Amino acid sequence: MKKEKLFLTTGILAMLTMNVSAQDSLKTKSKTDSIVNKQLNEVVISASRSERNVNEVGRSISIITSDDIKKSGANSIAEVLSQQEGIYMVGAGQNPGMTSSIFTRGANSNQTVIMVDGMRITDPSAINNSIDVAELALVNIDRIEIVRGSHSTMYGSSAIGGVVNIITKKVTKPGLTLDIYDTEGSFGKGTQFSNSNIYAGYALKNGIYFSAEGANEKTKGLNATVDTVTRASTYQHKDLSDGFNKWDANVKAGFINKKLDVYASYKYTQQQADIDKSAYTDDDNYTVNFHRDLFTYGAKFKISDKFNLNYTGGYSVMKRISINDSSLVDNNNNYNKMYDRSIYSGKLISNELQANYATKGLNVVLGGGANSESMTANTLLYYLDSYNFFPPQYNSIETSSDSVNPHSSTANIFLHTDIGGELISEKIKAFTLSGGLRMTNHNVFGTNVTYEINPSVKIMDGGLLYATYATGYNAPSLYQLYDASRYYTWDNNSTTGLTLGNKKLKPEESKTIEVGFKQHFNNITLSATYFQTEVKNVIEYVYLWDKNIGIDTLGQGARDDYRGETYLNLGTMKTEGIELGFSSKLGEKCSVSGNLSLVTGKLYYHPDDIDTTQTRGNHVQLFNNGAFINKEVEITGLTRRPNTANLSLTYKPIKKLSLRADMRHAGARSDVFYDSSLPPYGALGTVGVEPYTLLDLSAHFDIFKGLSAMLRVENVFDEKYSEIKGYTTRGRGVYFTLRCSL
């Protein structure tokens, strides 16, 4: 049945493409040329921190405009990113409000930089400092720039897999600009989806502008966990509707003229989501509340045609509160008599100043900056009796990070240059050599240096062949450095002296080789890239076991063999892959685009890499797969990182009507689950996840100038699939959007 759906989907798209191509083959060439010129003139800033023609930059780049987002009909940034080559979004197809994680080119979820207006956005209180992409909204976006591959020379920590820069709107047209829309829909029995948005901007003729936007998303969703009725050991509570409520507000003010571009903005995000205990395990009374205050600001001063200064900065404060208030545990209306509350907060401050110099054949960027992060974590667990709370000193557990004051600070300086061949001789003007260097000082692990070399050469008409060698790094999170949790032996309640956090952690360090080619001719754009990345000092969460006990006999009898857990730099991750992309304008009425991403990876561990001063010489067991590192270990395959393919076709039978089909395929992959049978006491095991193919159809109609409507059918074949084993995904969804733009 799955194969029939895939063949049918492919057939529909192929026939429609051929039909439209035949109809439009006789259209005039002048209109096609205007489309080509628009593509060739696209400017990107994230790849080189300077305005460069996207087709002249020797990197794999995607630009998603606000118009692209509108036409896609997507309801979240995760959905938009999931259609891009090299990216797999876990959570994009699940209940709204579920965690969304980004995996770029096989890198871990915390190895891609997410930025808003050039400021890196993180969650300092998260275990690995990665942001939940579900937090971000399609609010006030001008465009999204994606640069794949190692980019730590430009953006520092985490830029191993790539960079995603969300650039907000600036009002440049004098007068009033309005954009109001409402989306209503459903994606399964008993579900409701509603998203309302209003944007208003006003610009004066002298260059001063103001804008404000507000959005509210409400969802009455599916039971987020897979039906567990077949698991006899698990109570099946009929919590069929997990809800989600999110508010976003944004205000921005700025001034633009020929010499100066200055702005300041404030964004507020608040959301509440119903969550569940774990895969296959529902929970009727577990909620997470999150909010973030984000200030960003910047100024660009054009001193001359060749020289300008650019300043960017920001301040972010976030808080996440999770509460699980006595959940129902059986059919007799009995509760577990527990109250669990965790409060996590984080703060991020970032400021950078750079100078840009550009002349014929030479572009130089010199800059530096500083940023700091801090976090707090406070947890409280109360046990209840049949009537009320027991006295807290007997039946409560409370922990706090305040005593260790988790924080980090970094200072950096960076240099990037693009040297064109024409600087030496017109005979080699097709050749460009780009390169960069960054030096970063971190208050915990010291100084780190990254660099990149990026030669490229123009070949044929509109073609670019390029290669890159780049190093990168990913700093340990505050949680991994400072968590003060200790293990106490059950026999005499004495501490082992070990803490979960490890201040001796070093950053993960990467080396990336990339070779790519992109070509623009007539109305077609093609790209192909091969990459290979090696990450050393991978940070792993490990169990520690008594060094005086043989591994084969650990956990037997009443002996206390366990010595706690910690984080270690342990292992090497190697990934490689191929990315292919294309887009084409098939005459006036039809356009098609698609991409294919193939990725594979391995993990290597060696006992010589163990920091025995942190482990006290005890046995080390990986929580990630249960392996003991008493010998060389090799793990093949990457979890939650499949091969992917995307295909999009747009057809305009008449001027006011646009029809679109999007097909997305994710290949077979593995996922993790807690396997209690892994000796001695359990660790993460792996389980296979089936591939899936989804088809979305949409129709966009311009009712009259400024008023439009869209009907979108998501997952047309109502495919049953999994992104995370044990959690549900959305079924067939129908959404209707009415938009007024002035």
**pLDDT at residue 375, rounded to an integer:** 93
Q: What is the mean pLDDT of residues 32-36?
A: 39
Banded pLDDT at 326 (limits 50, 70, 90): confident
Calpha distance 562→590 (Å, rounded): 64
**Cβ count within 10 A of residue 470:** 26
Instruction: With beta carbons less than 8 A apart as the criterion, state whether 633 and 613 touch.
Output: no
Calpha distance 271→282 (Å, rounded): 21
Amino acid at 395: N
480 or 394, greater pLDDT: 480
DSSP readout, 676-706?
A: TTSTTT-EEEEEEE--EEEEEEEEEEEEETT
**Cβ count within 10 A of residue 150:** 31
Calpha distance 547→570 (Å, rounded): 18
172 or 301, greater pLDDT: 301
**pLDDT of 17 over the 50 cut:** no
Banded pLDDT at 40 (limits 50, 70, 90): very low
b (16+ CB within 10 A) / e for 324-342:
beebbeeeeeeeebebbeb
Calpha distance 321→324 (Å, rounded): 10
What are the structure tokens assigned to 652, written together?
Answer: 């305009």
**pLDDT at residue 415, rounded to an integer:** 97
Say which residues have a Cβ less than 8 Å from residue 371's Cβ, sequence separation at least 6. Answer: 120, 348, 349, 350, 351, 409, 410
**pLDDT of 4 over the 70 cut:** no
Nearest to 711 by CA among 671, 657, 670, 666: 657
Q: What are phi and psi of 716, to 5 degrees?
A: -55, -40
pLDDT digits (tens, 9 = 90+) for 237-266: 656 678 899 999 999 999 999 999 999 999
**pLDDT at residue 228, rounded to an integer:** 57
Instruction: With beta carbons less than 8 A apart as the criterion, state whether 91 and 723 touch.
Output: yes
Instruction: With beta carbons less than 8 A apart as the criterion, state whether 170 and 118 touch.
Output: no
DSSP readout, 354-372?
A: EEEEEETTEEEEEEEEEEE
Average pLDDT over the chain reads: 87
What are the structure tokens assigned to 293, written together?
Answer: 């205050």
Calpha distance 721→725 (Å, rounded): 9
Calpha distance 562→571 (Å, rounded): 22
Instruction: With beta carbons less than 8 A apart as the criterion, state whether 546 and 619 touch.
Output: yes
pLDDT digits (tens, 9 = 90+) for 579-599: 999 999 988 899 999 999 999
pLDDT digits (tens, 9 = 90+) for 452-479: 999 999 998 889 999 999 999 999 999 9
388 or 34, greater pLDDT: 388
**pLDDT at residue 51, rounded to an integer:** 87
**pLDDT at residue 676, rounded to an integer:** 86
Calpha distance 364→377 (Å, rounded): 43
Q: What is the mean pLDDT of residues 317-339?
A: 80
Which DSSP category does 391 fall into? P
**pLDDT of 396 over the 60 cut:** no
- Entry pTM: 0.90
Calpha distance 239→217 (Å, rounded): 21
What are the structure tokens assigned to 323, written together?
Answer: 């509460």
Percent of the chain whose predicted confidence (pLDDT) is above 90: 69
Calpha distance 417→512 (Å, rounded): 19
Banded pLDDT at 231 (limits 50, 70, 90): low
Q: How many domains does the chain have?
A: 1
**pLDDT of 740 over the 70 cut:** yes
- Pairing mode of beta strands 112-116, 162-168: parallel
Banded pLDDT at 38 (limits 50, 70, 90): very low
DSSP readout, 67-112?
A: HHHHHHT-SSHHHHHTTSTTEEEETTTS-TTS--EEEETT--TTSE
Strand partners, 376: 345
**pLDDT of 505 over the 70 cut:** yes
Instruction: With beta carbons less than 8 A apart as the criterion, state whether 457 and 141 touch.
Output: no
Calpha distance 571→541 (Å, rounded): 11
Q: CATH no. for residue 12?
A: 2.40.170.20
Q: Containing domain of residue 457, as a range?
A: 2-741
**pLDDT of 267 over the 60 cut:** yes
**pLDDT of 332 over the 80 cut:** no
> HEC profile for 482-516?
HCCCEEECCCCCCEEEEECCCCCCCCEEEEEEEEE
648 or 613, greater pLDDT: 648
Calpha distance 570→551 (Å, rounded): 19
Nearest to 122 by CA among 107, 109, 134, 132: 132
Say which residues have a Cβ less than 8 Å from residue 602's Cβ, sequence separation at least 6. Answer: 573, 574, 634, 635, 636, 637
**pLDDT at residue 289, rounded to an integer:** 95
Calpha distance 413→404 (Å, rounded): 29
Calpha distance 265→282 (Å, rounded): 40
Residue 620: half-sphere exposure toward Cβ, Cα within 13 Å: 29
DSSP readout, 252-320?
A: EEEEE-SSEEEEEEEEEEEEEEE--SBTTB--SSEEEEEEEEEEEEEEEEE-SSSEEEEEEEEEEEEEE
Which bin fits 160, alpha (ψ -120 to 50), beta or left (φ > 0)? alpha
Calpha distance 421→425 (Å, rounded): 6
